[in-house]
Amino acid sequence: MNLLKWVNRIVTGILIILLVSVAGIVLSTKLTNGEPEVFGYQLKTVLSGSMEPNIQTGSIIAVKSVDEDEREKFQKGDVITFLEEDRLVTHRILEVKKTGSHIQYITKGDNNNTPDSNPVLADNVKAAYDGFTIPHLGYFINFAQSTNGSFLFMILPGILLLGYSILTIWKTLRQLEDEYKKTPI
């Protein structure tokens, strides 16, 4: 019986942690318009293999947002996240070019054969990557944000917690009723 209580507590704890964690991720994503931030870093899901083997497809990377002053200070070898045709791309800088008062970066994915076709204007650099990666977690995050994932990670644990609470209350009421019946009047 004592083992059953511990199993119940562990299951309840896991369900609560899962529910709160996923709710936190979803809430953070909604509040930041799809850009969840942790300790000043934005979490991005890697959607292509252009930076493999250093950054694997499906990984989560943490990138630090850069302000206007920092955009022109990158050097060859730095990995930056920049805006290209309404999408964010994370590639390595091959070369820094100064044209008049503007700075452009020639970039390339580590796994690509050739540099990117268009130079990146410093104004288009949004963030810098400094090596923090969690492999394959991006698949989980994308699934958790989908309709099926929301059901599996938010609604289902909520239903299970509710069901477990009802079962616990029902058991407690039965025990109280049994004790009441045993008590002489």
Q: List Cα–Cα distances, 178 to 4, 16, 141, 172, 174, in angstroms.
A: 21, 31, 48, 10, 6
What are 148's two structure tokens? 């099926």
Put the strands of the sheet holding 60-65 in their side by side order.
37-38, 41-45, 60-65, 125-134, 79-84, 87-99, 102-108, 120-121
What are 124's two structure tokens? 């288009």
- Sign of the dihedral through C-alpha 175, 177, 178, 180: positive
Catalytic site residues?
48
Distance between CA atoms of 125 and 64, rounded to whole angstroms? 11
Distance between CA atoms of 154 and 41, rounded to whole angstroms? 25
